[in-house]
């Protein structure tokens, strides 16, 4: 039996599957992200009865962060400079209290979503995929040649410094930079700017779409220039705003101009930027895939 855990800033999703069939979820639960103690206890309560003889064959974790994902680091599994109150310095893996010797793979939550969509969703059929999430925060995860981009660190593109829209006086909400991408286009930024939830700016919807798509297109252009994925999946709560995905596609064409001639992004209908197919299940599916990848190789019979 394997387990997959996606920890997010507002919720945690846990699931278990047979080791040889990570695509079929046998049991799943949603847990509110509260304090580290309460949240980790709820995860343990879900996992404990599913373990066989007190252990899993492997566990995959896709965590919000920043989180130390380097297995050679002394702080592997520890949440680092997160703005989420109470979680900075939390030893996530130690808090799971897994049986000694359990194989564990850990990536960022958005990298987990990228892996889940690559194997089971909107990324099937391509080798290189980027997943962008826009919600409480902004992040990006990459799959290259079918595997997570790196096992030592993870991108933090939410803090990308962007070109300001000439009609935008908003100072931004990022506690580190103010008006970085996350400070200008995340759900809390949209709430602070208009005084309404990110996906429902009310009478300011046209202005909100214009500004948000202007900033998010810069993120997609940066990803396209630097990592050249074959497809970008754009998810997260803010991306559910009616008309936003279409506006981002159009802004991307305008922003890149002729710099990437004949690239699929120059056609908004090309399928280069798409919605996730797995909805809120992308991350936990990716976590189960990580667990499957962590299984020791089967013995060779000779």
- Domain map (residue ranges) of the chain: 2-108+280-294, 122-276
For the domain 2-108+280-294, what is the CATH code? 3.30.420.40
Give CA torsion, residues 141, 144, 145, 150, to 10 deg: -90
Q: Going by C-beta distance under 8 Å and a sequence separation of 6 or more, which residues neighbour residue 163? A: 218
Structure tokens at 167: 């009609």
The Cβ of residue 206 has, within 10 Å, a number of other Cβ atoms equal to 11
DSSP string, 140-204: EEEEETTEES-SS----GGG---PPPTT------BTTTBSSHHHHHSHHHHHHHHSS-TT--GGG
The reply to whether 2-108+280-294 and 122-276 are identical in fold is yes
**What whole-number distance in Å separates Cα of residue 262 and Cα of residue 58?**
43
Peptide bond into 266 cis (omega under 30): no
Q: What is the structure's pLDDT at 236?
A: 93
**C-alpha to C-alpha distance for 72 and 27, rounded to whole angstroms:** 32
Strand, coil or helix: what is 265? helix
**pLDDT tens-digit map of 4-43:** 999 988 899 999 999 989 999 999 999 999 999 999 999 9
Considering the entire predicted model, what is its pTM?
0.92
Predicted confidence (pLDDT) per residue in 193-220, tens digit: 999 876 777 788 899 999 999 999 999 9
- Non-local (6+) Cβ contacts of 1 within 8 A are 16, 17, 18, 19, 50, 51, 52, 56, 57
Confidence grade of residue 174 (pLDDT, cut at 50, 70, 90): very high
Alpha-carbon distances of 73 from 76, 90, 104, 145, 301, rounded to whole Å: 5, 15, 14, 25, 35
Please give the CATH number for the structural domain made up of 122-276: 3.30.420.40
């Amino acid at each position: 039996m394997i387990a997959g855990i996606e920890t997010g800033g507002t919720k945690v999703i846990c699931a278990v599957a047979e080791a040889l069939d990570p695509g079929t979820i046998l049991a799943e639960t949603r847990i509110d992200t509260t304090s580290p103690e309460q949240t980790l206890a709820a995860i343990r309560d879900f996992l404990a009865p599913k373990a066989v003889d007190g252990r899993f064959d492997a566990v995959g974790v896709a965590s919000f962060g920043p989180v130390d994902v380097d297995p050679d680091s002394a702080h592997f599994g520890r949440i680092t400079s997160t703005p989420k109150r109470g979680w900075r310095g939390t030893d996530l893996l130690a808090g799971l209290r897994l049986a000694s010797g359990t194989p564990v793979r850990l990536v960022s939550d958005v990298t987990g979503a990228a892996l889940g969509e690559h194997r089971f969703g909107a990324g099937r059929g391509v080798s290189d995929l980027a997943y962008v999430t826009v919600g409480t925060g902004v992040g990006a995860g990459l799959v290259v040649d079918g595997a997570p981009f790196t096992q030592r660190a993870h991108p933090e593109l939410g803090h990308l410094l962007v070109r300001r829209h000439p009609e935008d006086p908003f100072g931004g909400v990022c506690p580190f930079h103010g008006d970085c991408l996350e400070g200008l286009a995340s759900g809390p930024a949209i709430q602070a700017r208009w005084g309404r939830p990110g996906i429902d700016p009310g009478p300011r919807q046209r202005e909100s779409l214009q500004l948000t798509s202007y900033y998010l297109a810069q993120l997609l252009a940066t990803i396209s220039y630097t990592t050249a994925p074959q497809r970008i999946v754009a998810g997260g709560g803010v991306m559910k705003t009616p008309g936003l995905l279409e506006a981002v596609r159009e802004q991307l064409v305008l922003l890149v101009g002729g710099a990437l001639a004949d690239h699929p992004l120059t056609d908004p209908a090309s399928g280069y930027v798409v919605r996730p197919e797995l909805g809120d299940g992308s991350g936990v599916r990716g976590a189960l895939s990580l667990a499957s990848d962590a299984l020791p190789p089967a013995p060779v019979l000779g």
